[in-house]
Structure 1
Amino acid sequence: MWATCDGGGKLDSGDTGFMVFATTLVMLQTPAMGIAQAGSISAKNTLSMLNQIMVGTVMGSLLWYLVGFGLVFGHSLGGVIGNPFHHFMLINVPVDDCWPGQTIPALLYVAFQMMFALMVPLILTGAWAERLTFRAFLPFVLLWPLLVYYPVAHWVWNPAGWLNRLGVLDFAGGLTIHTTSGVGALVVSLYLDRRQLSVVYRGHNLTLTLIGTVITFAGWYSFNGGSALRANDQSAYALINTHISACVSSVMWLAISFSDGHKFSMSQVLGGTLAGLAGITPGSGLCSVQAAFLIGAVVGVCSNLSARLLKRMRIDDVLDVFSLQAVPGIIGSLILPLFVQEKFHDTLPGTRWHRFQIQLLSAVVCIATSAINTFLIIWLLDRTLGANVSIETEFTGLDVAEVGETAYTVDLGEELADEGLAAMLCEKVAAGDLLEIKRFFRRHNDLSFQDYDGRTGLHVACSEGFLEVVQFLVTHGAPIDIRDKYGRAPVEDAIIKKHVDVIVFMKNCGCAVEPEKFVPRWFFAASTADTAKMDALLKYGVSVDVADYDSRTALHIAVCNRNEQCVRFLLEAGADAHLRDRWKRTAGDYARQERFTFAVDALVQGRRSPAVSPNPRAKKITASVGDSPLMQRSRAFSIVSDTSSCSDFSVFTNVIERENALGVVEGIKHSAVRKSSHIATRQLLIAVSNNDVAEVRRLLEKGASPNVTDYDGRTPLHIAATNAYMRVVHLLLKQVRIHVNALDNFEMTPFHDAVISGHKEVAAVLKAHGGVMVDHELGYRLCQAAFEGSLSKLLTMKDDVNVADHDLRTALHLAACEGHVAIADWLLAHGANTHTADRFGHTPLDDAVQFGCKQIQLLITQHRNVINS
C-alpha cells in the first residue's frame, strides 16, 4: 500500500466515497469466494463451506478490531511487528482525521484493510474443503493471521517494516495475500489426509461457481483499484489492468483445456480468470495495460501447468488454491520490476535488477514464513483437536455431521454409482426401515441394484426375515430369482436363515424351486437336530424321506443321534419309518440296537406305509454288518483326517476335530464388527471390491477397522479373498487386529471363500496366517461325487478329500462301497486317509471287505504299506 505516515492530509469527499464503495465490494468478495467454492465441491459439503466463510468473516473482523490493525500498522517494533496495544480495539484511530499521508478518514482505512485481513485465511478453505474438522478450523483462522498474515503485512505494507524499507513492490497483495495463502494451502493439502483417490471430483453446481466467481471478479476491481486509496489515475490503471490480465489468463486456460479434450470447459475458464486476477494484483497500479496482457498470459500458462502437476503428484489441493493463488502471486511479483511504468520509476530505489533481487528475497521470506508457521499451526491442531474428518464424516458430508443442516433436500445416493446405491439399499433393508426403503424407491425407481457380491436388497430382506420388506420389494419389481456371485437366489437366504413365512411367500410368488440343491443342508440339519432349518427346507420342497448315497434318511440320522425332538418332528412331518439304508436297516433297527426307548415307541406309533425298497443305486451287502458300537456323537461336524498322510495338500485342508471346530466357530463368529451400517464400512468394502489398493490403504490410515462387516457379515478380507486381490489381502493381513477367520452370515471364512473360488495362492497366504474352513456340506458333496464315480466333481474339491459327512463317512468310504476303483486310486493319490472310521466304526478298508471290492482292498493295503514304510 502506498500510504505514508510522514505528514497529514486533507479529507477528500470524493476519495472517501470511492473508498467506502471499494470497501463494500471487497467485503462482498469473501462470501462470493465461498459461493464459488461451495459450487465446486460436493453437495453434501456446501453448507459447511459457506458456514466456514461466514464464521471466518466474523472472527477475522473481531481479531482485526482487537489486535490485528495494531500488529500490522501500529508503531513498529524493530520493523518486525507492530505494537498491538497502541491501537488495541482501535484506540488512537481518529474518525474525523486522515490516515497519515492520505485523504480518507483513518477509520475508513482501517475498514478497508480489515476486508483484506479477514479474507486471507479464508482463501485456504479451498484447499481443505471436505477434509478439515470445524473444531480445527476455528482456532486456525485465529492463529494463522497472528503468525503469518499480520507479520508479513507489517513487513511489506507498514512503512517501518523491514521489507518495505528494502523497497519491496506489492501494490495490492501479490506477496502479502496470494503468496502466503497459496503456500499455506499447499502445506495444509500435504498434511491432511487425501480424499478418495479413485473418484474424479467435480463441482455439484457450476452455476454457483460461476456466480461466485463473477462477483469476485467484479470485487477485484475495488480490491486492486481501491488499493490506490484515491480516486485517481492509479486506481484506473489498477481496474483496467485487472480486467485485461484476468481475460488473457482465462483464454490461456481455455486453450490448454481444449487442446487436451476438445471441450470448452467452464471450470477452466473460471480457474484461468482467478489466476489472472491474482497474477496482476502485485503490479495492477504500477504497470501499463500492455504489460498486464503479458503478465496475464504468463501466469495463465504457469498456473495451469502447476494445477496439472499437483494432480499428477496426487496432492489433494481441493480447489487448486496453490496454483490459483501462490503461483500467479509469486510470478507476478517477480516479473513486476520489468514492467513498472516510468512515471513510478523515479520514486523507486535502485535498478530493475536490484528491485528483482528485492522481490526474490521478499518472495522467499513470504514462502518460508507461511510454510513453516502454517505447518506448526496445523500440526498443533491435529495433535490436540484432530484436524482430519472421520471416514464416515467424509462420506456422509460435513453438512450433516458438523453443521446439522443441509443446503439441499437431496439424497446422498444421487452422488453414488450403482454399486454404492446397492450398498445403501441393502443397509436400509438390513435395518428393516421400510419408510427409508420407500423413499429410496421413490427417488431411484429401481430395486435391482447389485453390490460387490451381486447381492440385492431382496437377498438381504430374505436373509433377515423381514416379510413386509420382502413383500414391498417383490411387489415393486425387485427381481425374484436374481442370483448373487455365489449363485444364491433370495429365497435361498431365507432357507439358510430359517424364515418360513418368507419362504412360503416367495414360493407363492413363483420363485424358482430347486430342492435337490438343499439335500446336503437337510442332512446336516438332521445331524445337528436343527428342526427349524428342517422345517424351512420342508416348506421349500425338500422331501422328508429324501435319501443320501447310503440310502439313509433324516430319520435314520436322528435316531442314531438319539435326538427325541428331531425324531418327533420327522414323524409328525410324515417320515416313513420303514425305509432301509444300504445295510438294510430301518430307523427302528437302530433305535432297538441303541436301546433308544423313545424312538422305539414313537416309530411303532408312527409307522405309516409298507416297506419301501432301499435306494436301488446302493449295492447289496455281501457280508453281515459287524457289531461295532455306534459312535456316541450328538452332531456330525466337518473334518476328521490324518494330516501326516496329506502334507502336500495341507494348504487347502484344515483338519479339526468336532470339539475344536466348535470352539473355532464360537470364537470367530464374534471376531468381526458385526453388521455395521456406517458409510465408512460401505466405502472400505467398495474400495476392496474395486481392488483399489491406494484407497483401501487411505481408509485404513484414517482409522477404518479392517474387521468391519456389511449387512451379510462379510469383511474386507472376505471380498479380497473371493476376488483374488492379492495386494489387498497382503495389506489387510498387515493390520494388527485383523480377524483372519471371521465368519460371515453364511458361516464362511475368507479362507473358505478363496478355496471355493479356486484361488490357491490367496488360500495359501491365508492358511499361513491361520486361516481355517468350516464347511458343513463339503463332506456330503465329496461322498456324493465318490458315490456317483464323478472324477470331474472331485477335481474341483481335490484339496479337501478327507472332509466327512453327517455319518463321519468320507469319499473313500463311498468309493469302497460302490467299487469305484479309479476314484479310490485317485483319492489315495491325493491324500485320502485310510484309517478314518465312520459312525459305525468302519474304515474304508472295512467297507471294501464288506461289499466285496477286492481291488480297492488291495489298493488300500498297498497304500498303508507305503505309508508305514
Structure 2
Amino acid sequence: VNPVDRWDGTPLADAVRAGHRQVVEMLSAAGAELKLDVSQTSVKLCDKAREGSVEGVRLLLDGSADVNAADYDGRTCLHLASATGNLMMTRELLKAKANVNSVDRWGGTPLADAVREGHSSVAKALLEHEARLEFDEVKTSSELCECARQGDINGLTMLLTAGADPNACDYDKRTCLHLAASVGNVAVVKRLLEHKAIVGAKDRWGGTPLADAVREGHEQVSELLLAAGATLDFSAERDARELCESARLGDIEGVKLLLAGKCAVNATDYDGRTCLHLAAATGNLVMAKELVAHGAGVSITDRWGGTPLSDAVHGGHFEVAMELRKHGAELKYSRLKTAGELCELARVGDTNLIRTMLAVGAEVDASDYDGRTCLMVACATGNMHVVQVLLDAKADPSVKDRWGATALADAVREGHAHVAKMLLAVGASIDLEPSEVVSRLCDYAGAGQLEHLELLLNCKADVDAADYDKRTALHVAASAGHLHIVEHLVSRGCRVDAVDRWGGTALSDAQREGFTHVCKFLEGRRQLVVLKRSSSQEQLNLK
C-alpha cells in the first residue's frame, strides 16, 4: 500500500490531495503512509489552513500528518488559522492537540496572531487552552502603545485579556498610558486605569502620563489622571523642556496649563534657552505676550549669547521683535557679531531682516574683522534695494576697510553703475591711493571693460594718471587693440602724446602690436594736436 512514484508520492498522498475521504480511511486502515517529510507536511497543512479547508486539514491529519509540523519560518497551521480568524479551523486543530504556544521565527504565537489581526473569538478559544502571547516586555509595550496611539480599544482590551502587562514599558520606558495620554484618548485611558495602569510611571526623560497630557493640552485626560492620584512634579530641567516644546508647537493652552502647574517661566534648558526664546524664534506674538505677562525675562541669553529678541530678528518676526523691545529687550550683540549678521543679510539681499535689526538697535556702520560694513557688501553685490535701506539708515559711505577701500570702490570694482550713482548722489568718494587708481584704470583698459573704466572716471579719477613706468590707461588700451576704450579715453580728454619710461606713446604701442585701426585713430588725433599747437604758436608770434 506504500509504493512510491517518480515524485515520491504514495497512494495515500494522492487520495488526500484529491480529497477522497473514504479512500484515505481504507488506506490508513491498511497501514498506508503519506511519506512526507516535516517541511512538506507543514507546507501542506499551512496551505490548507490558509485556504480555510477544514476537510483538507482533517484528511492530512487522518493520514498521520503531524499537526505541529512547522515550516521554514517556524509557522504551524494553527498560526495560519489564528491569523486568518478561522474559528472552526482553530477548534479542529486544538481538538487534534495542536501546540497552542508554538513560536515562529519572530517569536509569534497563534494567540499573538489572533490578537494582532483582531480576531477576538479565536483569541478567546486559544485562551481557553492556556495560550500565551510569549511577548517580552518591549514587544508587549510596543503592541499596547500602538493600540493606544491608534485608539484601538478593542485590540487593547484583547491584549490585556490575553495577559499583556499594562505597565510594560518600551526602550524609552514609555507605557501605553503615556501614549494614550499623549493623544488624548479618554476611552483608552479609562480602560487602562481599570486594568491598574500606574499613573506615575516615568519614561526615560522623567515624563509621566500626566505630563504628556498637559503638554498636549488634553484637559479631560489630565483630569482623569489627577483623579487617579497623578501629580505634576517636574524638575527645573523638565520645566524648561515642557515649556519650550509647548512654545515651539504654539500650544498656548498647554503653556497656560504648565504655568498654572507652577512651572518656572524662566526655566532654561541644556542650552540656556527659555520658552520665550522659542516663542520669539517661531514668531508667535500671542505666546510671547502671554509669557512676558507671566514675568518671562526678555534679555536672558542662551549658550550662544542669543536673546529672545535676537531669535525674533533672525526669524524675521518684526512684530514680536518690537513687542520685546517695548519691554526693554536688547540684542546683546558685540560689534563684530552685529557686523557679521548685517553683512550676511546684505549679501543675500534680505531687506526685511536688515530693517528689523536696525529697528531694534543694531549699529548700521558696525564693521567686521576686515573693517567691512554691510554697506560695502551691498555695494559689492550691487543690490540697490539694500543700499537704499542702508543709506536711509544713515550708513556712512566714507568708512574704509582693511585695504583702504570704501563702499563706492566696491561698487566701481564690480561694475555696479546704478549703485555707484546712488553713492555719488550722497557725496561718497572713491578715496583710493593714486597708485590704486592708476592700477585699476590700466587694468580696466587692458581688459576692455568700458563700463568699469567709465565708473572710475566718473568718480573723479585722473584720466592721465600714470603708473610706476609712466604708462597710462591709453597706453594699455592701445597695446591691447581696444579701439572703443581708446576713443572713450580721448573723449574724456586724455593726452594722446603721453610718453612712458621708454619714450613710447599710445600710437607707437599700437604700431608695434599691429593694430592699424587704433593707429589710424591715434594718428588723426596726434595731427589734430599738432595743428592746435601750431595755431597756438602762430598766435603767440603775432602777439
TM (normalized to structure 2)? 0.42
TM (normalized to structure 1)? 0.28
Work out which structure has the larger RCO, using CA pairs closer than 8 Å and 6 or more positions apart in sequence.
1
Larger Rg: 2
